[in-house]
């Protein structure tokens, strides 16, 4: 099946669904609910049409493979397109330099946003890179999660949905227009790096995977590693070794615990490996520390 609609014109898009595909329309405040007829499949979308941009949240499943086409060319009507799915994938025909709109629209759970391309008339060459960064960043994922967690089965839910999409847009457009390469605000990023450091300090004496730290503080691996090194002046693994060695030295000098027990305590059950690391770090063996 082919679905042919004027993608970059909110009213034309709506009337195309109503007249050509027998969708059902219900309006509530700023939202237009468009529900798919049973003979095509199941699902609906909520359309919000603003003065010079529009967006919709949709979830549907056509009963057969369906390809979307639009008579609009990419960039028509002065608009830039964004497609965002519930797994955080963000794409744009405009930014990717494509000419036509052609998508598999058989099964969709996501959001479509159309904003004036004039906003980005001074493209600093980073838009594509930033789009990829936005997929990975905590703040972007967190804002999108609040949108996709908002139910839209009843009309009143559209009020919350609209406010959350607009909140996301305010953060997102500011990021795309800025010279920053990260979606995180500096303050938010610093707070998460501090959280990561506290977590490492607490769990430094056990096996600690980067993925576990990343999950805990809400940063992707790349942002975590870079931010942690900037904050502590050491990569995470080196910071863990430093913490372990300094603790071992303190225990060697201030207690009478056996060397093997100290090694076990800080996470090294192989005494030889512990001694080698200690010597590399302090220039002497653990046994020599007590002489």
* 233-242 per-position pLDDT tens digit: 999 999 999 9
User: Does residue 284 share a domain with residue 201?
Assistant: no
Across residues 250-275, what is the average pLDDT? 91
User: For residue 96, what are the contacts with CB-CB under 8 A and spacing of at least 6?
Assistant: 128
| DSSP-assigned letters across all residues of 116-156 | EGGGGTT--S-HHHHHHHHHH-HHHHHHHHHHHTS--SSTT
Confirm if 263 and 274 have CB atoms less than 8 A apart: yes
User: Does residue 191 share a domain with residue 100?
Assistant: no
Structural tokens at position 206: 């056990």
Question: Mapping DSSP to helix (H, G, I), strand (E, B) and coil, where does residue 105 land?
Answer: coil
Domain, as residue range, for 194:
186-233
Global confidence as pTM: 0.62
Confirm if 37 and 63 have CB atoms less than 8 A apart: no
User: Does residue 194 share a domain with residue 108?
Assistant: no
Confirm if 133 and 183 have CB atoms less than 8 A apart: yes
Q: Which of 92, 125, 158 is the last residue of a domain?
A: 125
pLDDT digit string (tens) for 151-170? 877 777 888 899 999 988 88
Structural tokens at position 79: 């608009």
Structural tokens at position 50: 């603003």
Beta bridge partners of residue 271, listed in sequence order: none
pLDDT reported for residue 119: 80
User: Does residue 43 share a domain with residue 114?
Assistant: yes
pLDDT digit string (tens) for 73-126? 988 888 989 999 988 888 889 888 889 989 999 999 999 999 988 887 655 556
User: Does residue 115 share a domain with residue 224?
Assistant: no
């Amino acid at each position: 099946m082919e679905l042919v609609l004027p993608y970059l014109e909110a009213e034309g898009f709506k009337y195309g669904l109503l007249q050509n595909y027998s969708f059902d329309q219900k309006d509530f405040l700023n939202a237009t609910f468009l529900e798919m007829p049973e003979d095509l499949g199941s699902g609906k979308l909520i359309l919000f049409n603003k003065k010079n941009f529009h967006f919709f949240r949709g979830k549907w499943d056509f009963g057969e493979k369906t390809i979307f086409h639009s008579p609009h060319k990419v960039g028509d009507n002065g608009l830039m397109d964004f497609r965002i799915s519930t797994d955080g994938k963000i794409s744009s025909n405009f930014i990717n330099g494509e000419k036509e709109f052609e998508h598999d629209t058989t099964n969709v759970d996501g959001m479509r946003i159309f904003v004036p391309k004039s906003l980005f008339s001074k493209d600093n060459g980073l838009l594509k890179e930033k789009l990829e960064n936005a997929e990975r960043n905590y703040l972007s994922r967190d804002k999108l999660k609040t949108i996709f967690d908002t139910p839209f089965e009843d009309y009143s839910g559209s009020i919350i949905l609209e406010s959350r999409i607009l909140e996301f847009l305010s953060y997102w457009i500011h990021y795309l227009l800025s010279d920053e390469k990260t979606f995180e605000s500096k303050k938010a990023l610093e707070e998460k790096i501090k959280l990561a450091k506290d977590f490492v300090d607490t769990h430094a004496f056990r096996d600690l995977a980067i993925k576990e730290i990343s999950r805990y503080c809400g940063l992707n691996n790349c942002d975590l590693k870079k931010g942690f090194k900037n904050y502590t002046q050491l990569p995470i693994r080196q910071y863990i070794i430093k913490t372990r060695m300094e603790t071992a030295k303190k225990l060697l000098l201030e207690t009478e615990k056996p060397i093997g027990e100290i090694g076990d305590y800080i996470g090294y059950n192989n005494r030889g490996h512990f001694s080698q690391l200690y010597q590399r770090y302090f220039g002497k063996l653990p046994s020599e520390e007590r002489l």
